Amino acid sequence: MHLKAIDLNLLTALGALLRQHSVSRAAREVGLSQPAMSRALDRLRHLFGDELMIRSGAGMVLTARAEALAPRVQAILADILDVVAEPEFDPGKERRTLRIAAVDSQTTLFFPGVMARLLKDAPDVDLRAVPMGPDLARRMQAGEVDLTFSLANYPLPPGTHSESLLEDRLALVLRRGHPVAAREALTMADYAALTHVTMSIFGDSHTETDATLAAAGLERRIALTTPHFSAALATVARTDMVTLISRAFARQFAEPLGLVLLEPPLPTGALHLTLVWPASRKNDRLLAWLRGIFKEVAAEMAD
């Protein structure tokens, strides 16, 4: 007999019959009508070549074959439930490696706090920081990246979801003792006259800042472009160059590097940092739990 010739739905009926020793009670247990359960019993008798249940007085008793089947059928039904039921999630039992595309400012801001929680609550979950790049959308769709960061005003790659993480803003950063550090306010022309460090993650050279300056008839000199935010701050700390950078990131290094954070003399708006993950991972409970940890770390940072 081939498995495909057996109606596996009969297993549920058989299990109820073996537990209840009654067609009517078994029917109520599985939500069938009594005639439907009687038909199921007839099919089971034909399948096993045995009466399975026989009437005895006011009730029914199991045959020897049914008595032998009972523990095996209950074990099979329990195994099926284990296969289809979602197991209880316990981060402490997870053994996974998650890949997060990020720039150094993001890993510096979030990874220390996140890793402190992982080592405590999910010691066998490892994180791998991987570079961002023009092919990030493809890598996410291919399952090569589990999580990344973006700004809320950037269009999401196809097939991804996002949620808010941290509200940040830009700061004009320069070294303590810089010739313009003591000024109460800089004009846009003052700003354009400075020498600048900019960050480029995807290889783009034109920025919203340059567009704003151009609209005012101004142009700035960009002496250094780097994908590394920490390199920008280190350079500013050693020179009279300046940079526009995440305030949350820059204030981590203001004291040790001797940096001053000023309000930019041009409209910049808020930076709404988000977490982005592939739609194919929407039911990944470990990833959802990890996003919660990132949000907790971000909330502590905001406080």
Q: Enumerate the CATH 1.10.10.10 domain ranges in the chain, comma separated.
A: 3-84
Q: How many CA atoms lie within 13 A of 32 on its CB side?
A: 21
Per-residue model confidence (pLDDT) at position 154: 85
Q: Enumerate the CATH 3.40.190.10 domain ranges in the chain, comma separated.
A: 168-270
Higher pLDDT, 98 or 184: 98
- State the angle between helix axes of 285-302 and 104-121 in degrees (0 to 180), rounded to the nearest 10: 110
Query: Which one-letter DSSP state was computed for residue 279?
Result: G
For residues 299, 125, 273, 275, the Cα torsion angle rounded to the nearest 10 degrees is -120
**1.10.357.10, 3.40.50.1950, 3.40.190.10, 3.40.640.10: which CATH number matches 168-270?**
3.40.190.10
Q: What share of the chain in percent tops pLDDT 70?
A: 96
CATH architecture for the domain at 3-84: Orthogonal Bundle (1.10)
DSSP-based three-state secondary structure for 149:
strand
Higher pLDDT, 84 or 223: 223
pLDDT digits (tens, 9 = 90+) for 231-258: 999 999 999 999 999 999 999 999 999 9
Closest CA to 273 of 140, 148, 137: 148
Which pLDDT band, with edges at 50, 70 and 90, does 1 fall under?
Answer: low
Per-residue model confidence (pLDDT) at position 237: 97
Per-residue model confidence (pLDDT) at position 251: 93
pLDDT digits (tens, 9 = 90+) for 118-136: 999 999 999 999 999 888 9
59's enclosing H/E stretch is strand 59-62
Per-residue model confidence (pLDDT) at position 189: 95
CA–CA separation, 205 and 75 (whole Å): 65
Higher pLDDT, 159 or 86: 159
How far are the Cα atoms of 45, 75, 180 from residue 72, in angstroms, in the given order?
17, 5, 83
Is the pLDDT score of 2 beyond 60?
no
Indicate the length of the chain as a whole number.
Answer: 303
Per-residue model confidence (pLDDT) at position 282: 85
Which pLDDT band, with edges at 50, 70 and 90, does 195 fall under?
Answer: very high
